[in-house]
Structure 1
């Protein structure tokens, strides 16, 4: 017999759990198929304030707030940047867009587990240790073939299907939806450390620290502090950068320490750090798809598209996708016709494309020129507009730098460069 339910969701991460919570609040039967068991390790620990809006909408924000102390979630109010002797700080409470200006830096194992527990408390059926083997979306109601940990297979049919499988990208692989990303292939090395940071001008525990490598501005490090003296730490770059540090003959642990040692500024910040957790690696993570939805399924979060970790946009995009998609599924269940391209894909990609413009400009160095410009800090309006983007408000069309983001960012970069050159000329 084939099981029947209203909605099947593949994956119990932030996209899947928030979608399930939203659907359960409306009374729909929801089954989540999750291959792993929670809690499980994941990177992407620095949340953005925009996420608070979506968590609240799903009824999950209070649950997270109640467990801040238990899991040492770190209060976060902005982002700090370091490049050699240059520093820059953005306070997300000072931004163009209305809405929350603070959030947390979280261990994703605990954070994701909390959201999943919240969805379960609302009545979602989460099946941990179950894996999707096949999907049939040819009929009106999708049918999934699933295997449990006892190697038993069964089938379940839903009125609609969400893929929130993240980097697992279940539907893109099974349905041949994958499309090449136009981003270069980059590698990330990452771990958790006892950071040992007590006092440093470039470091504020209430902000993520993004450090540009002094010798190659294509490479950058993240330092995401938690409230218990530990931090998530990682480096991102293209493969030739890692090859220059003996990639082929090194373990990931050796490689990460060697790269850190070659950056004097960050080495000073982390001079007391203890590397006590094995280093992980992720390569070729940027991804895209031919489409994000059809009449009976939709891709949420990273299952659809992942850009880059530099501005911590992953969880925000995941939660935004759920917030957009669930009201449309409700209409489907009521028998209405939904134009998934116009009503879901286009509005979701509007914000993703804004993030994309800033990610691309980061790696060309253009956005770095803006971030480290002292001239930019004299223009409060520009700083607040950028702060909104860094806080995750990429869908705020009233923000002047939202429209034609790439062109307007180039104009801001030129403004900053001209200002710096004028200041230098005056000094000389």
Structure 2
């Protein structure tokens, strides 16, 4: 093994949280090394960004490079979310929201989007080592050490003054440091692919919004349809395992996922009509048991970013927003620490980050319980209430001035009752 290498900040993973963290650190003049197991571009889901993400991308100096490549990569302008359940339709326009900030964003192929962010981080001076794999982690010393294997099977060690885990579903530090904590969400499976959707000129479909469809026979199951600007879309279905078993799926690796997804689509009349000209021309993939949590998000010399720390559910597309928010919160604290000032990672990082995550969690739980579905499809929402909901769907989960932010779970339940019965007053919604 060669002599120990050194850097200021080590980052595991070059996805959105890793690249944005690197860009922010380079703004402050720190040497940054990213260890990334894969080569970019690489396929990933999570293609529907939220407007709140634009704030964090701009802060990291990454927004312009995305904007400059919108046409090249067919990133689709996005201004809201649409919902479908049988004959019921609903939508939220994110430009009509309670919170200040951008109301539009894009729907992106993550392979291109993530690669753009990583390339820009490299232009800013970050050292990204693609094809390098972390095989051991030592956080016992004051300055953590990674043991890394490159593509030639050569092993080396590198030490940083601080370590950030941005490994996403790889969850490197949770696995090596035994930080895994079971999620209290039911185990759900996603089955997904990219399709030629055949709906470029269909007046019944708004390409500027993600479409979320509730399965008419099982409201716990839902489909996403995320259109790109070139007639293609990301398409998938999410449900618990028993749902898939009803379609004959047992969960083995050799089962025909394309046939499964087609069968599930055919069982939803309204969505089948939208996708009546669909062509399946890419491999169908599956991901199961993706919800995850950890015992803590940071300690004296390391912190977890984005999905490496906690992933909720894809239903409201919160993953990239949480990832970018975590970098935005963490990097000023890393700077503070490297300047020799004390940092309370629980109070200054974990609690503020989890405050917004808990709001997203309330929405996810309320969606699957059916309460938020009642809100979405209700005709009894006042404009003020719609704007509050629109803000949270747009990713502004850290806006504590939004009345729904405080005690979000309780207030969503109250809102659902109000939407079911127009005679009820939304006293709690307008309270403190």
TM-score (norm 1): 0.97
Aligned to 2:389: 386
Aligned to 2:141: 139
Aligned to 2:428: none
User: Which ranges in structure 1 are unaligned for 5 or more consecutive residues?
Assistant: 423-428
| Secondary structure of the structure 2 residue equivalent to 1:419 | coil
Deviations 1:36-80 (A, max 9, x none): 000000000000000000000000000000000000000000000
Is the 1:49–1:100 Cα contact (8 Å) retained in structure 2?
A: yes
Aligned to 2:263: 258
Aligned to 1:367: 372
Deviations 1:315-365 (A, max 9, x none): 000000000000000011011110000000000000000000000000010
Distance (whole Å) between structure 1 residues aligned to residue 300 and residue 138 of structure 2: 13
Aligned to 1:354: 359
User: Which ranges in structure 2 are unaligned for 5 or more consecutive residues?
Assistant: 426-432
Among 175, 186, 189, the alignment partner of 1:187 is 189
Aligned to 1:124: 126
Among 31, 42, 45, the alignment partner of 2:33 is 31
Q: Mapping of 1:1-400 within 5 angstroms?
A: 1-200=3-202, 202-248=204-250, 250-376=255-381, 379-400=382-403
Distance (whole Å) between structure 1 residues aligned to residue 185 and residue 219 of structure 2: 16
How far residue 419 of structure 1 moved from its aligned partner, in angstroms, is 2.2
Q: 4+ residue stretches of structure 1 with deviation over 3 A? A: 198-202
How far residue 201 of structure 1 moved from its aligned partner, in angstroms, is 5.6
TM-score (norm 2): 0.96
Is the 1:33–1:128 Cα contact (8 Å) retained in structure 2?
A: yes
Aligned residue pairs: how many? 420
| Secondary structure of the structure 2 residue equivalent to 1:412 | helix
| Secondary structure of the structure 1 residue equivalent to 2:299 | coil
Distance (whole Å) between structure 2 residues aligned to residue 199 and residue 180 of structure 1: 45
Is the 1:374–1:420 Cα contact (8 Å) retained in structure 2?
A: no
Distance (whole Å) between structure 1 residues aligned to residue 171 and residue 207 of structure 2: 34
Is the 1:80–1:202 Cα contact (8 Å) retained in structure 2?
A: no
- Root-mean-square deviation (Å): 1.2
Is the 2:138–2:145 Cα contact (8 Å) retained in structure 1?
A: yes
Is the 1:82–1:202 Cα contact (8 Å) retained in structure 2?
A: no
Deviations 1:56-111 (A, max 9, x none): 00000000000000000000000000000000010000000000000000000000
| Secondary structure of the structure 2 residue equivalent to 1:111 | helix
